Amino acid sequence: MKHDALNLLACPHCGADLQAVATEVAENEILSGQLRCMSGCGGYPIEQGVPRLLPELASRTQSVGECQEQARRSFGAQWEMYEYGNTTWGITVDDRIRVALHELRWTESDLAGKVIVDAGCGNGVLSKALADRGATVVALDLSESVFRAEKYCRSPGLHFVQGNLFFPPLKANVFAAIYSCGVFHHTPDTRRSFDALVPALKQDDVVRYFVWLYSKRSWLFNVTVEPLMRLTRRTPSWLLVPACQVLSPLVEASSRLLTVLGLVQYAPRNLRDRAVQLHDLLSPPFVWYHSFEEARHWAVQQGFRSVMRTPYHVSGDDLNGLDKVLHKYRTVCRPGFGMLCRDREAGR
């Protein structure tokens, strides 16, 4: 953990400042120790260079429940399969950062000096890409994926943190942007996750809050795939992970055939990436679906004056090939929508 992370992090219970007590330090970073709440809520461990700011780890907390523990285990197992250097959902790092900048309506030069939360960072690859381009990033995730990410995604302005979106361990009025892609709908309450992060944003009209959520599904999906998902969500990781690895060649071959026949559009993936995608489909204990109008209402209630649905296409001349990148990105995503919230009322 870098010492300047203390300028960004807070007690997930009360929002108070944290004090670091190190037991192992290397190259001016804390590898192990504790973060203590200055208001007395308790202490949170630092392990393998990652602060674990989960509310249940402090001495005065209640358990967050077995369902959230199941989600933590699910995504931990999923990203344990990921091979660093591989694509994520079939998308390269360079293309992924181009999509994220399009979603935030920023250029690459806009990242310099920005302080950003990557809420639900997963493998941490996008977090590193943002930090490598000049941003300071708090990469937050509930699962143990943050420990592998800390090892493989080092960057001077990047801080990996294990935390719960319902109790975000973030200082208020600090961050220029919150970015969360495909995460909130895998928590027990999508809106609660959305609302809980808002206080971390600065009180100005240039902040950005981007979320990507699953949209409401068709009746055909509900009567075919959804029953299977309800079954596999209860399957332990030690069984589901190898099952996804075994099934990935069949799923990939079928996807390519259906694409050739013109029935669907899927970007080709290698088998490890396909196995990760299968696990993401079949494992999460929570999967909620929303409409843009529903999510827009949440944003308006939080005081955002500008709420737009993200267009995944480029109008007019596309000199740098972004439209092709966006089209490929949409083919690897399940049906959903992006929403960018800006211009928040002062004092909210």
pLDDT digits over 33-56, tens only?
Answer: 999 999 999 999 999 999 999 988
Percent over 70 (pLDDT), the chain: 88
Contact 311, 327 (CB under 8 A): no
Alpha carbon distance 75, 222 (integer Å):
23
Alpha carbon distance 45, 66 (integer Å):
21
Which tokens is 334 given? 């399940």
Mean pLDDT value across residues 128-153: 96
For residue 82, the model assigns a pLDDT of: 66
Chain segment 324-339, per-residue pLDDT in tens: 899 888 887 778 999 9
Nearest to 304 by CA among 141, 166, 178: 178
For residue 236, the model assigns a pLDDT of: 82
Instruction: Give the helix ranges, DSSP H, for the chain.
Output: 66-81, 93-104, 125-132, 145-152, 190-197, 219-232, 237-260, 271-282, 292-301, 322-332
E strand spans, 7-166:
18-26, 29-37, 43-47, 50-53, 115-119, 136-141, 158-163
Lowest mean pLDDT among 21-25, 127-131, 263-267: 263-267
Which tokens is 326 given? 């966006």
Helices H / strands E in the chain, number of each = 10, 11
For residue 9, the model assigns a pLDDT of: 99
Contact 125, 87 (CB under 8 A): no
Parts of the chain belonging to CATH 3.40.50.150: 65-348
pLDDT class for 61, splitting at 50, 70, 90? very low
Domain 65-348: state its class. alpha beta
Mean pLDDT value across residues 213-225: 74
